[in-house]
Each structure stands twice: as structure tokens, then as C-alpha cells.
Amino acid sequence: MTKILVTGGLGYIGSHTVVELVNAGYEPVIVDDLSNSQLQILNQLEKIIGFKPAFYQFDLCDEQKLRDFAASEPGIAGVIHFAASKAVGESVVKPLKYYRNNIYSLVNLLNVYSGKPVGIVFSSSCTVYGQPDELPVTETAPVKPAQSPYGNTKQIAEEILIDAITSGDAKKVIALRYFNPVGAHSTALIGELPIGVPQNLVPFITQTAIGKRQKITVFGDDYNTKDGSCVRDYIHVVDLAKAHVAALKLMEKPDFSGFDVFNLGTGIGNTVLEIITAFERATGVKLNYEIGPRRGGDVEQVWGDVTKSANELHWKAELDIDTMMSSAWKWEKYLSQNTL
């Protein structure tokens, strides 16, 4: 079996990708320092895939530990690099934490696997587009000045990866620019685990519906959109996970070399109010919501052109908004009835 290092494999997107890797016949090896995840996710993964995947707990910023790991796990054929800190607001307050964690971990991986035939899949973000001039946004759209240190780490990381390809330190790299990942696995055994008050829309919705939060505030209804609230391209995390398998398969082709980048979205924009309506429709649960002021730093609208992903990555999102909402709700209910 082909061994794939999954950094951050106990996190939200990483854990779903571990499942899809196993479904596709790969052997995932997880490295995670549990800075934003729980060890119990390994047991949850076991319930889904039938065995406990190999797991190493350490901080990727520690290059020696990564070297020791590489020596003890020879034959890694690919790396999917999820591990990073991801809270946009926190990155403004603690920028050095973000530059250290997100950049050191990547540079260490590139150093340790330098010159080896190891394909790298990198978690980038639609945040690199800022507010695009044209919608839907394509991969050739200009990268806009970052709105946060977090966003900047994604831009810098893409540049580092391109330089590593140019120098020959890396041979094959695919950067995947995620739009807004939401939802949970159909078994409701894994999903998003926000620490503290969620900053993202869908976990805030599900926590409001379950009664953990009193109400949800819609951040602005005076944007130039169909109902005045912001537009995003929400994508089911299981679809997103499958795209990582597609990226590995593309890199396995003998004619693939160098750096490439793909949008991972559905190609459909939904407003915040449409998401609230979809949640109510899909779950039958009424949401207590109010309209509030705009949130600083939000772009008005963004959704992806996914033509390149369909044609070259041979991947397309399949799950609709109602499935995203019902799966997120099923996971929230699971969490309220079970301790992990």
C-alpha cells in the first residue's frame, strides 16, 4: 500500500481525509501535536475505518523530531500537509505564533523530504484572492494583499513551495485553495471541533440550534448581494477530503511535475441568510437569529470557478447545501449525547 503522511490528520479536514485515503487503498500515517485536536479522534477513526491508523504526536516545528519520524517511517510516497494554526482573529493578535507554526512546519517538511520523490499536497485557502475583481474566481486571478497574518502565511507558503520546485528541493506540489469547508462525516463520528466560541458560521449555527448559544448574528445585511448578506462557496468536508485523493492520483501520473494549484469549491455562492434557511429546511429546526453590523475584514462575496478542478484534477463536489447542513447538525447532536 502507498504510505501517505497526513500532517494535522486528527483535525477537521485531516480526519475526513484519512477516511477517504483508506477508502481509496492508501495507508495514512498521521502526525499531529494535538494543539487543535483530540487524541480520541483516533478511536473515532477506528470506528469508521476498522483499525487505528499509525499516529505520531509531535510538533512539526521541531525539525529533529521530524527527521526521526522520517527515519522510522521510510517509504512515505506523499505528504498531505494540513497542520497549521487557522484562527484568523487570533492571528492578528498573535502573528508570530502563526508565522512560526505555519511557516516553520512547512520549511521543515521541505527540508526533510528535500530531493526525495515525495509529492506534497498543501492546504491553501480562497483567502489568497481577497475580494476578487471577477466572479467566479479562477486560479489565475491575482493574489491580493493578505487581510490577516493567517492569510499571509498561506500566500507565503505558496511562494515557498514554488521556490522549492524551482530549486529542485521539491519535485511535485499541488496547492488546494479551499473555499468554505462545512459539514461532517455521514456517520457523525467525526466533524469540526471548535475550541471555545466558534468564529465560523456553520458551527455557530449548530451550537445555537442545540442551545449552547442563545442566538446567531448575521454580520451585515447591507452588502451588494441578492439579500444583503455575504456570499461564500460552502463545500462539504467529505467532498473536500476526496479532492486530496484526486491530487495524489494526479501527482502519481508520470507526466506530472512541478507546481499546480486548484480551487476546491462547488462553484455556487450562497448568502448567510440562504445558509440559515437551508439549515432550517434540512433539519426542521428553527434558528434564533438577528441582523447585526458587518464584521471587520469580511469580503463581500467570493465563490470559485471549479472548471480547472473538474478538467485536470478530475474532481467535482457532489454533496449539496442541505446535506452539508444535515450532516453538521447530526454531528452537533452526536457531540451533545456522547463524550469523545
Distance of CA 58 to the CA centre of its chain: 20
**Shortest CB 222 distance to ligand WQD, Å:** 12
Q: Tell me which residues in 254-283 interact with ligand WQD (CB under 6 A).
A: 272
Residue 44 is a binding residue for ligand NAD (CB under 6 A): no
- Quick one: which of 10, 261, 268, 319 contacts ligand NAD (CB under 6 A)? 10
Residue with cell 483508506: 22
Residue 180 is a binding residue for ligand WQD (CB under 6 A): yes
Cell of 220: 451585515
| Choice between 24 and 291, CB closer to ligand WQD | 291
Tell whether omega for the bond before 117 is within 30 degrees of 0, i.e. cis.
no
| Choice between 86 and 172, CB closer to ligand NAD | 86
- Quick one: which of 63, 221, 274, 298 contacts ligand WQD (CB under 6 A)? 298
In sequence order, the 6+-apart residues with CB closer than 8 A to the CB of 96 are none
Choose among ligand WQD, ligand NAD, none what residue 201 binds, the Cβ cut-off being 5 to 8 Å by kind: ligand WQD
Phi and psi torsions of 216, nearest 5° = -110, 135
Residue 243 is a binding residue for ligand NAD (CB under 6 A): no
Contact predicate 16/238, CB 8 Å = yes
Question: Which region among 16-24, 111-119, 164-172, 198-206 touches ligand WQD (by CB under 6 A)?
Answer: 198-206
Residue 204 is a binding residue for ligand NAD (CB under 6 A): no
| Choice between 1 and 195, CB closer to ligand NAD | 195
Q: Is position 178 annotated as part of the catalytic site?
A: no
- Quick one: which of 59, 68, 221, 320 contacts ligand NAD (CB under 6 A)? 59
Residue 37 is a binding residue for ligand NAD (CB under 6 A): yes
Q: How far apart are CA 317 and CA 297, in angstroms?
A: 28
Residue 232 is a binding residue for ligand WQD (CB under 6 A): yes
* Contact characters 255-294, ligand NAD, x per CB under 6 A: ----------------------------------------
Question: Which region among 11-19, 58-66, 102-110, 200-208 touches ligand WQD (by CB under 6 A)?
Answer: 200-208
Residue with cell 480551487: 263
In sequence order, the 6+-apart residues with CB closer than 8 A to the CB of 272 are 201, 218, 219, 229, 230
Catalytic residue among 150, 178, 223, 289: 150
- Quick one: which of 178, 289, 303, 315 contacts ligand NAD (CB under 6 A)? 178
Contact predicate 182/237, CB 8 Å = yes
Dump strand ranges (E) for 114-256. Answer: 119-125, 172-178, 180-182, 216-219, 231-232, 234-236
**Shortest CB 313 distance to ligand NAD, Å:** 17
What does the angle CA 190 – CA 191 – CA 196 come to, to the nearest 5 degrees?
125
The alpha helices in 24-147, defined as continuous H runs, are: 40-49, 63-72, 88-93, 95-98, 105-112
Residue 295 is a binding residue for ligand WQD (CB under 6 A): yes
Choose among ligand NAD, ligand WQD, none what residue 20 binds, the Cβ cut-off being 5 to 8 Å by kind: none
Q: How far apart are CA 276 and CA 241, in angstroms?
A: 24
Q: How far apart are CA 98 and CA 95, in angstroms?
A: 5
Indicate which residues carry an active-site annotation: 150
Tell me which residues touch ligand NAD (CB under 6 A): 8, 10-14, 31-37, 59-61, 82-86, 101, 105, 123, 125, 178, 181
